[in-house]
Amino acid sequence: MKMTKVAVLGAGINGLACAVKIKEKYPDVDVTIFSNDFTPNTTGDGSGGLWNPYLCGNTPKDLLTKWGIETFQYLHKLWKEGGYDICLMPMYELIRKERELPQHSWANQVFGYRTMGQKQLDFLSRFGVKYVAGRTFTTFVVYPPTILAHLYDRFNKANGNVVQAKLSSLEDPRLQDYDVVINCTGLGARDLVPDTNVFPIRGHIMRMNASWINYSVVDEDTGHYIIPNVNNCVIGGTHQENDYSYNLNEEDTKFITNGCQELIPGLKNAELLRHWVGLRPGRNEIRLEAENKDGKLYIHNYGHGGSGLTLFWGCSSDVLEIFEKHMKVEKQHVKSKL
């Protein structure tokens, strides 16, 4: 019987997770990743690495919970094993203006989720900004290049193939021989598919040397956040829709610096290590679905906005499930022909 050939487009966190899941479970399937960039140069490599569903458009809450919690549990497994630059830390979501806070659909499945009481709010308001409400839970922060390198190594060890290439369409002749194409091209899907629902959400962050900070905090009203990881501390951020610029600008730098120093004033004495600008793959909702076209199965898995590191493992399970259903149908098809 002819060997099934799978092309995974994109070597970001989502492409790697799908490629690893399929190649490790089905060693006889020929899996090739085609990608323009590889770790440490993908969007996920530069990201904050915080587990926290964020900027995913109108993706249904039940799916966010399913994908997010499976990823949370996977990070927990790696954290227990040790050696992956993942830490477990408190996270505070703070609110300045009184309003009703909808409950997060995943709240009762993460560690220690609760609405903060007055005492804790007073403590977190001690630097001057008065917070009127907030939620807290304990979550994972990964140092992204480590987890991307880990998945890349796993794929290599499983004898996966890798091709460095920028494809201009899903009909690219290099994909001709593949039975299944898994599209994890993030923002690239806008031109590749093409899908005009995909748009950039520009984010500028700074990495600081501030090893004395050991909790993550997000100001829900200004969008500022502080996310320490095992190697440095990320401060951010901006969320500029439809902005394709990778250039730094003074206005954003001031916005981030001033806002994060309001949250933790001691940051003014921390050493700045580097700036980074990335484009989140925004979409009205994450696209994870099968499409049959010209005798080929396409599985789309893109548009993860600000949550690629929060959802990747759960999303790759759904991709695997679609792939397995397809294999089953193909097998029956071959049997019925015999």
Ligand X SMILES: Cc1cc2nc3c(=O)[nH]c(=O)nc-3n(C[C@H](O)[C@H](O)[C@H](O)COP(=O)(O)OP(=O)(O)OC[C@H]3O[C@@H](n4cnc5c(N)ncnc54)[C@H](O)[C@@H]3O)c2cc1C
Please give the residue ranges that form the binding site for ligand X (CB under 6 A).
9-15, 34-37, 42-44, 47-50, 166-167, 184-188, 192, 203, 205, 236-237, 278, 280-281, 302, 304-310
Minimum CB–partner distance for residue 9 and ligand X (Å): 6
Nearer to ligand X, 131 or 140 (CB): 140
In angstroms, the CA 100 to CA 228 distance is 29
| DSSP type of residue 84 | S
Minimum CB–partner distance for residue 216 and ligand X (Å): 9
The residue at minimum Cβ distance from ligand X is 188
In angstroms, the CA 10 to CA 326 distance is 21
Minimum CB–partner distance for residue 121 and ligand X (Å): 24
Nearer to ligand X, 21 or 121 (CB): 21
Minimum CB–partner distance for residue 322 and ligand X (Å): 17
In angstroms, the CA 323 to CA 193 distance is 19
Token readout for 266 is 């001691």
Please give the single-letter amino acid code of residue 325: K
Q: How far apart are the first and last CA of the chain?
A: 12
Residue 295: CB atoms within 10 Å: 6
Evaluate whether 138 touches 76 at the Cβ level (below 8 Å).
no
Nearer to ligand X, 70 or 121 (CB): 70
Nearer to ligand X, 186 or 259 (CB): 186
Contacts by 244-248, CB closer than 8 A, 24 or more apart: 244/200, 244/202, 244/279, 245/202, 245/277, 246/277, 246/279, 247/277, 248/204, 248/275, 248/277
Minimum CB–partner distance for residue 212 and ligand X (Å): 21
Minimum CB–partner distance for residue 2 and ligand X (Å): 26
Nearer to ligand X, 69 or 121 (CB): 69
Render 242-283 in DSSP notation, one character per residue: T-------HHHHHHHHHHHHHH-GGGGGSEEEEEEEEEEEE-
Minimum CB–partner distance for residue 131 and ligand X (Å): 21
Minimum CB–partner distance for residue 334 and ligand X (Å): 31
Nearer to ligand X, 121 or 306 (CB): 306
Nearer to ligand X, 47 or 59 (CB): 47
In angstroms, the CA 14 to CA 20 distance is 10
Q: In residues, how long is the chain?
A: 338
Nearer to ligand X, 168 or 292 (CB): 168
Query: DSSP 3-state assignment of 32?
Result: strand
Over its C-alpha atoms, the chain yields an Rg (Å, rounded) of 21
